[in-house]
Amino acid sequence: MITIEPARHPLTGSIQVPGDKSISHRSIMFGALAEGRTEITGFLSSADCLSTIDCFRAMGIRIEQSTRPFDGEPVITVRGKGLHGLTEPESTLYTGNSGTTTRLMTGILAGQPFDSRITGDASIETRPMARIITPLTQMGAEVVSVRGNGCTPLAVKGGKKLHGISYHSPIASAQVKSCILLAGLYADQDTVVYEPALSRNHTELMLRSFGADIRNETDVYGAASAILHPGATLQGMKVDVPGDISSAAYFIAAALMVPDSALTIRNVGINPTRAGILAVLQQMGAEIELQNVDDTSDPRADLFVRHTRLGGGNQGRVEISGRMIPTLIDELPMLAVLGAVSDCEMIVRDAAELKVKESDRIAVVCENLRAMGGDITPTEDGFVIRGGRALHGANIRTHGDHRIAMSFAVAGLAAQGTTCIDDETCVSISYPEFFRSLMQIS
Ligand code: S3P
């Protein structure tokens, strides 16, 4: 348990958040499948990404950590063995709490000559895997939910000949898209994944940098696709991981809510498929300035945020729906808190995916925001928040979900009285130093 008191000082100065989780996972996976050495700086050493490292080590990949002599910067070196270099793991691959590890790695395992099994913690064992089993089966893979409930443990049969498919994904999910594309590296024809809206495209951008023949397309109606032509050899490379905008979101929110704050968050990834939170907050009048924009591969910038009383963009209403949802899916708990203290009505639609994240984030956000005095109503695919409430401290139940713990810790900074977070240790999933950074800055 940890207690949070209202912030007594404005948040000022500058802070650097840890590396992007999605890019960190992929840098290990693609580095393992590439020929030669991949050197990663800015890697996120959190529980989720360490699960990815453990799994690839269990398949014979050497992954080492060292420090760069001239500046002491940690470097992760992956000694890749090429697309066909993985070896059979001795036991079930354990992915902990990580949906990204589970789903992306299953795509890779589907193309291997050996049998494998994969499972994770109690939360992972309830998360839907039929969404990857269906397309992988269409590709000729044999992936079975061992308990027959569409969840892990999964058993993956080796030695299957995979075919490229054109898959119309019913959900905009980067984990589903990436799983199929990674299996596509082992297929005999092109693999095309269509999605209802473009989900984060780190797999496409990074695989291309590693040497794969892959691209994104968007048609005149806005439908998105990713197209992979197999056959290329991946080559090891240097990856410099930017700060995670999903982690930056907590400090953006804290600076917006605590009076007189003026905070710079350095080196944050601002890939447009991830940066929806900035657009929504700017629509609500937030003072957020992008400085030192670096437009190389996965773009990044420093974010300068000033305390702002948030209002509704359009007659006091902010609607977050449709194509915006995948660009800010992980930030919705934090946005809900901001909606509650803003002067507007915030309507979130098309976000049913929230129910199958690390917790049921529609139910858990509603439970905790209400406990703090927020006015929120759940809907089938989101929630409606009537802002203008002064929040008060409460007992927060995280349900083991790191993003709930961090969102409501930040809410506690702007609330009256003490907020208790029942289980603060779950932040180790994506941001182990979160509470230390929060204490330092507030
Ligand atoms: C991720 C994709 C998203 C996101 C998750 C990380 C990724 O999940 O919520 O935190 O790295 O591909 P979905 O693909 O299930 O939407």
Residues 436 and 365 reside in one and the same domain: yes
Statement to judge: residues 271 and 317 lie in one domain: yes
Please name which of 65, 103, 78, 132 lies closest in space to residue 203, comparing C-alpha atoms. 103
Phi, psi of 395 (to 5 degrees): -90, 120
Whether 7 and 30 map to the same domain: the answer is no
Please tell me what DSSP assigns to residue 434: H
Of ligand 1's listed atoms, the one at least distance from the Cα of 203 is: 12
Quote the ligand 1 centre to 188 CA distance (angstroms).
Answer: 27
171 vs 236: CA distance, rounded Å: 31
User: Does 276 share its domain with 372?
Assistant: yes
Domains in the chain, number: 2
Q: Ligand 1 centre from 178 Cα, in Å?
A: 10
Ligand 1 binding pocket (C-beta < 6 A) is 22, 100, 173-175, 178, 199-200, 329-330, 353
* pTM, full prediction: 0.97
Classify strands 238-240 and 35-41 as parallel, antiparallel or unpaired. Answer: parallel
In a shared domain, residues 8 and 56: no
Task: Count CB neighbours of 1 within 10 A.
Answer: 10
Q: 186, 203, 230: which is the final residue of a domain?
A: 230
pLDDT at position 411 is 98
What CA–CA distance (Å, rounded) separates 361 from 404?
8
Give yes or no: residues 317 and 291 share one domain. yes
Question: Is 236 part of a structural domain of the chain?
Answer: no
Within a domain: residue 235? no
DSSP secondary structure string for all residues of 243-305: BPHHHHHHHHHHHHHSTT-EEEEEEEE--TTTTHHHHHHHHTT-EEEEEEEE-SSS-EEEEEE
**7 and 72, same domain (yes or no):** no
Residue whose structure tokens are 């760069």: 68
Which of 121, 330, 381, 401 does the annotation list as catalytic?
330
Q: Are residues 275 and 414 in the same domain?
A: yes
Domain that holds residue 296: 2-18+243-441
Q: Whose CA is nearest to atom 9 of ligand 1?
A: 330
Which residue stretches of the chain have pLDDT < 70? 312-315
- How many beta carbons lie within 10 A of that of residue 238, not counting itself? 12
Q: What is the CATH number of the domain that holds 152?
A: 3.65.10.10
Per DSSP, the three-state class of 254 is: helix
Q: Token pair for residue 330?
A: 């992980």
Judgement on whether residues 212 and 253 belong to the same structural domain of the protein = no
The pLDDT of residue 174:
98
Calculate the alpha carbon distances from 221 to 177, 218, 321, 325 in Å: 20, 8, 17, 17
Query: What are the residues whose beta carbons fall under 8 Å from the beta carbon of 301, sequence distance 6 or more?
Result: 267, 268, 270, 290, 291, 292, 293, 294
Residue to mutate, 200, 273, 298, 325, ligand 1, most ligand atoms under 8 Å from C-beta: 200
Residue length, the chain? 442
- Do 87 and 165 belong together in one domain? yes
Asked if the bond preceding 153 is cis, omega within 30° of 0, the reply is: yes
Say yes or no: 283 and 410 in one domain: yes
Note the pLDDT tens digit of each residue in 202-232.
999 999 999 999 999 988 777 899 999 999 9
Residue 74 counted as domain residue:
yes
- Residue 199 Cα to ligand 1 midpoint, Å, equals 8
**81 belongs to a structural domain:** yes
Is residue 375 among the annotated active site residues?
no
